[in-house]
Amino acid sequence: MSDQTLGAGPKRIDGRLKVTGQAPYAADHALDNTAYGYGVFSTISRGRIVSLELDAARAMPGVIEIFHHGNFPALHHTPSSMAKGNKVEETRLPFEDERIYYDGQFVALVVAERFDQARAAAQAVKVRYEEETPRANLEQGVKAHGTKKGKGNHSRGDADGAFERGTHQIDVTYTTPVETHNPMEMHSTLAHWPDGRLQVFESSQGVVQQKGAMAKIFNLAPHKVEVISTFIGSGFGSKLWMWPHAVAAAAASREIKRPVELVVPRQQMFTTTGHRPETEQTLKLATDDQGRLIALSHHSVSTTSYTDQYVETCGSVTKSLYSCDNVSITHRTTEVNRGTPTSMRAPGAAPGLFALESAIDEMALEAGIDPLTFRLNQFAERDESQDLPFSSNHIKEAAERAAEQFGWHQRNPKVGSMRDGREIVGYGMAACNWEAIKRPCDAHVALRADGTVYASCATQDIGTGTYTIVAQTLVELTGVPFERIEVELGDTSYPKGPISGGSWTTATTLPAIAEATRHAIDELKTRAVRSGGPFEGVDVEALTFDNGVLSFEGKRIPFAEALSTMKLANAEGEAHTEGADTSKYSYRSFGTHFVEVRWDPLLANLRVARVVSAIDVGRVMNEKTARNQVEGAVVMGIGMAMFERTEYDPRTARVVNNNYAEYLVPVHADQPEVDVILLDYPDTAFNEFGARGIGEIGITGLAAAVANAVYHATGVRVRELPITKEALMGAV
């Protein structure tokens, strides 16, 4: 079974279900008598609703009810605590009052017999607004009311003083635009109330949190809420926390006493389900005459909504990646008329490392040092922000191996000097970095009399391969092959599991699964040695369990047979594992990207031709799904570098490019050769498997590596994402 154990690269156990269309996503679940909801969404970004004309819509075929602030049931706010398991990003409830805070906010919900009837009636609702001048972007927000203090600030030494003393200095500002997650599967909710209990099918990265929030909002005992999310067409962070549509659907269902299904239209995926906020980041770096970094400050402002403060912690990595005595990190926010932002793949670090790793490149060039050498000389040996050793850090090896594979040493440092026909070639590099987190987790495992092994946990597989690596863990511990393993995830009736986010699912879930498996095996052994058991009288310590077989002194009985003999259905184990002990080590993942771009100056055409990434994430649990995460993140990073930008009209704060044709993400033709080196050094200080998580790190630093390569090719230092043609045109 070695090709199914941890570290091997078995195919996903749910792959067949997905490609044959049998995997049910939230909106695929069919309940009798379901009614369909469709939103009426605000067309202004700031102001209030004066009146709603509903008569025409009410009279349309199939319409059951139209909800709005005048008739929506009174509900409660959730305290929004992640620790307590009831977090949401936008605490305001839909239809709470007549205020409009952002474009595309729910102003009414039409519920009808059929989807098309609900949509037609929703479009027939006329809303009169009293419009106020919106704050459409960061600049307007800051101008109108300045900024507010955010979280995650840090300072050590005297960054300003040291900057002044520097031999070489740079003081530059970078900006990143709003990005929208745009998973393929739209947000959707199917809610109903069997026997006064609320059951919700949701496309969710965090069923436990949604359950807790629903219980608070509807004032229900927690056991009266169940949230189910068996398959998810990705989320990238937008589905970590519940959004207003889910509350709207659940409330509507309770009112009309029928199941209600609500799918958020693609346009509103740009408004009411989160986004990565706009940032402006000022970096001040200085070195001494030896090129040693003596000052590093990273001050950022990001946009948030008027309803909640979300902080994009751009400086989260800057604290600890480089060795430097004088560091100052601040995060501030400014309110704008947009929906509430949320985590998007590598929140903080993705925009933050664009700025930091661009600035490091600028600093190295200013000091006359090769950017790779500059970094190798200054990567921190320990986490200076917490004064703790890293649990495991191989960033130098990552940099050296990737550089070797990429051919960095063939780089001619002179700008624009490397040509290939009509194209100018540019080489750039950047470090990548992401925190490693392990949270508390519960799990349940059963060895069953039919010879199968079963595991369940209320975490989710968001397309990353969680089902598969849980199965691999069971293979490793029980010796039972995939064909006889059943894994159930994504349902709050299972033991509490983590959100699928922060790259912490693997490190959090697998130890709990393993612990529960060991408990199940212990239970099996304990039963087997009791009177009537197949090993009656044997010392339990002497009984072994290997490859699904109990044995003692030459007597070998498969566990299924043992259970059958005892007339038992199963032997079960429950486990609760704790989060990582953060007092002894700083846990982080590391890596580097090397990027080759090609610029055709007479065609204003830029492309990424080649990427080599070396990633140090502890032990690799599944070679295929791990590689796939990094490759996908690299492609998403190319999108961040060159294409992605949610555009808001500066006059109205209304989203302009709210569809897949105009909001650009890379297509196949944009994908370069991607070479991923997985270092695979187990981090056993972190957890028994030594795995840190790999979902996010790949996107960090990538945009900077592209921008650094673009500078090398064109001589244009682009400090504003995305890197557009117009930014480069006119370059020599």
Q: How far out from the chain centre does Cα 632 lie? A: 13
Relative to beta strand 673-678, strand 605-616 is parallel
Relative to beta strand 126-131, strand 47-53 is antiparallel
Nearest distance, CB of residue 651 and other proteins, angstroms: 7
Instruction: State the residue for tokens 């700008």.
Output: 415
C-alpha distances out from residue 539 to 60, 116, 523, Å: 75, 68, 14
State the Cα angle at 383 between 377 and 385, rounded to 5°. Answer: 110
Contact residues for other proteins, defined by CB under 8 A: 43, 61, 116, 119-120, 123-124, 602-605, 607, 642-643, 647, 649-652, 654, 656-657, 661-662, 664, 666-670, 724-726, 729-730
Paired residues of 329 in beta bridges: 154, 298
Nearest distance, CB of residue 116 and other proteins, angstroms: 7
Instruction: State the residue for tokens 């889910």.
Output: 246
Which CB sits closer to other proteins, 169 or 724? 724
Task: Identify the CA nearest to 509 among candidates 495, 523, 492, 491.
Answer: 495
Per DSSP, the residues of 636-673 read: HHHHHHHT----B-TTT--BS--STTTS----GGG--E
Nearest distance, CB of residue 131 and other proteins, angstroms: 11
Which CB sits closer to other proteins, 100 or 431? 100
Inter-residue contact 241 to 102 (CB < 8 Å):
no
**Surface-to-core class of residue 176, CB atoms within 10 Å of its CB (0-12 exposed, 13-18 middle, 19+ buried):** buried
Which CB sits closer to other proteins, 61 or 73? 61
Please tell me which residue in 139, 312, 696, 726 is annotated as part of the active site.
Answer: 696
**574 is an active site residue:** no
Per DSSP, the residues of 504-564 read: -HHHHHHHHHHHHHHHHHHHHHHHHHSTTSTTTT--GGG-EEETTEEEETTEEEEHHHHHH
Nearest distance, CB of residue 564 and other proteins, angstroms: 53
Which CB sits closer to other proteins, 516 or 608? 608
Nearest distance, CB of residue 607 and other proteins, angstroms: 7
Q: What is d(CA 384, CA 574) in angstroms, rounded to the nearest whole number?
A: 39
Please give the backbone phi and psi of residue 365, each rounded to the nearest 5 degrees, phi first. -65, -40
Task: Identify the CA nearest to 694 among candidates 231, 346, 316.
Answer: 346
Residue count of the chain, please give it. 732
Nearest distance, CB of residue 604 and other proteins, angstroms: 6
Sign of the alpha-carbon dihedral angle for 214, 218, 221, 226: negative
Inter-residue contact 107 to 136 (CB < 8 Å):
no
Cis peptide bond prior to 722, omega within 30° of 0: yes
Q: What is d(CA 241, CA 272) in angstroms, rounded to the nearest whole number?
A: 12
Which CB sits closer to other proteins, 182 or 468? 182
Six token digits for residue 21: 């269309």
Which CB sits closer to other proteins, 51 or 526? 51
Inter-residue contact 560 to 449 (CB < 8 Å):
yes
Inter-residue contact 13 to 487 (CB < 8 Å):
yes
Which CB sits closer to other proteins, 417 or 659? 659
- Known catalytic residues are 696
